[in-house]
C-alpha cells in the first residue's frame, strides 16, 4: 500500500502533460470562446469596414483644401463606375482637363451614356437647366440622376438657384469659392467638414493622381460604350454643347 501511494502521484504527474497535449490537439481549429470574466480579448480584430462614397448623398458637396481635386476625381469616377447605368456625370471641358488631364479635343466622340463633357460651365448649366425643366414638365420617372463636377467659378449663384428650383434633381461636386458649407480635405485626405456634410463622408477620402484618374476614366467609358445605351431627354442634341 505504501508503494502504491508513492506511485499514484508520480503517474498523475506524468500523465498530466500528455492529457494536456491531447486536449490541445482535439480542440485545434475550434473557435476560442470569450473569457467568462468579461475581460478584453487580446487578439487583434481585423478592420474591414470602409465607408462607401456616395457622390449623390448631398445636393452640393463643395470641396476645398489641398486634397480637394483628388477627392473630386474619386467622386466623379465613383459615379461613373458604380452608378454608370443610372446616372449622368456632367464635367465642363476645362474641369475635365484640370481633373483628368484631358486634351481639348479628347473624348469628343466618346460613346458613353453616363458622361457628358460640354465646352464650358455656362454650356453645362444651360444643359442642366433645360434638362431639369423638361423632367419637371414631363415628370420623367426613370431619368438618370445628374451629377455636376465643376469649379463653380463665377456661377455659384446660378448653381444655387438651379439646386433650389429642382430639389432632389441634381447633385454637384464643386471646387472653388462656394458661399455655402464646404468640406476641407488636406493632402492626406483627412476631412474637416460641418456636421451636415461630415455625416455623409468618411473621415479620410482616397486620393488619386490625374494619370490614374485619366486611365480609369477611359476604362469606364469603354465599359459603357459596350452597352450602347443612352439616357432619356435631350442629351443627343446637346452632347457637344
Q: Taking phi first (over 0 means left), then psi (-120 to 50 degrees means alpha), and beta for anything else, what does residue 29 get?
A: left
Under 8 Å between Cβ of 87 and 56: yes
Strongest mean pLDDT among 4-18, 111-125, 163-177: 163-177
User: Mean of the pLDDT values across residues 178-204?
Assistant: 92
What is the secondary structure of the chain as a DSSP string? Answer: -HHHHHHHHHHHHHHHHHHHHHHHHHTTTSPPPPPTT-PPP-SPPP----PPP-TTSSSEEEEESTTHHHHHHHHHHHHHHHSTTTEEEE--HHHHHHHH---TTTTTT---TTEE--SSHHHHHHHHHHHHHHHHHHT-TTPPEEEEEEE-TT-HHHHHHHHHHSTTTEEEEEES--SS-EEEE-TT-BEE--HHHHTTS-SBPPP--HHHHHHHHHHHHHHHHHHT---SSSTTTTTT-
Interstrand relation of 60-64 and 182-185 (parallel, antiparallel or unpaired): parallel
The per-residue pLDDT for 103 is 84
The pLDDT confidence band at residue 207, using thresholds 50, 70 and 90, is: confident
Q: Please tell me the least confidently modeled range out of 5-9, 45-49, 68-72, 113-117.
A: 45-49
Cα within 13 Å of Cα(241), Cβ side: 18
C-alpha cell at 85: 447605368
Q: pLDDT-derived band of residue 53, with 50, 70 and 90 as boundaries? A: confident
Domains of the chain: 74-177+213-227 (3.40.50)
- Mean pLDDT over all residues of the chain? 77
pTM: predicted TM-score of the whole model, two decimal places? 0.72
Amino acid at each position: 500500500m505504501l508503494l502504491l501511494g508513492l506511485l499514484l502521484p508520480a503517474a498523475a504527474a506524468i500523465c498530466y502533460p500528455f492529457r494536456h497535449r491531447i486536449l490541445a490537439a482535439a480542440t485545434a481549429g475550434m473557435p476560442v470562446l470569450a473569457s467568462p470574466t468579461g475581460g478584453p480579448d487580446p487578439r487583434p480584430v481585423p478592420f474591414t469596414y470602409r465607408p462607401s462614397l456616395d457622390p449623390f448623398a448631398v445636393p452640393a458637396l463643395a470641396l476645398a483644401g489641398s486634397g480637394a481635386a483628388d477627392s473630386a476625381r474619386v467622386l466623379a469616377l465613383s459615379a461613373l463606375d458604380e452608378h454608370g447605368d443610372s446616372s449622368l456625370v456632367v464635367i465642363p471641358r476645362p474641369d475635365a482637363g484640370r481633373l483628368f488631364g484631358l486634351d481639348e479635343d479628347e473624348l469628343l466622340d466618346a460613346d458613353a451614356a453616363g458622361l457628358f463633357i460640354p465646352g464650358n460651365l455656362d454650356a453645362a448649366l444651360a444643359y442642366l437647366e433645360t434638362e431639369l425643366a423638361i423632367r419637371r414638365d414631363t415628370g420623367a420617372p426613370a431619368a438618370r440622376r445628374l451629377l455636376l463636377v465643376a469649379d463653380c467659378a463665377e456661377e455659384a449663384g446660378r448653381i444655387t438657384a438651379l439646386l433650389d428650383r429642382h430639389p432632389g434633381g441634381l447633385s454637384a461636386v464643386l471646387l472653388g469659392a462656394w458661399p455655402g458649407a464646404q468640406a476641407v480635405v488636406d493632402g492626406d485626405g483627412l476631412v474637416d467638414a460641418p456636421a451636415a456634410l461630415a455625416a455623409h463622408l468618411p473621415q479620410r477620402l482616397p486620393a488619386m493622381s490625374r494619370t490614374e484618374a485619366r486611365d480609369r476614366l477611359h476604362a469606364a467609358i469603354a465599359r459603357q460604350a459596350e452597352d450602347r445605351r443612352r439616357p432619356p431627354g435631350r442629351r443627343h442634341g446637346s452632347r457637344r454643347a
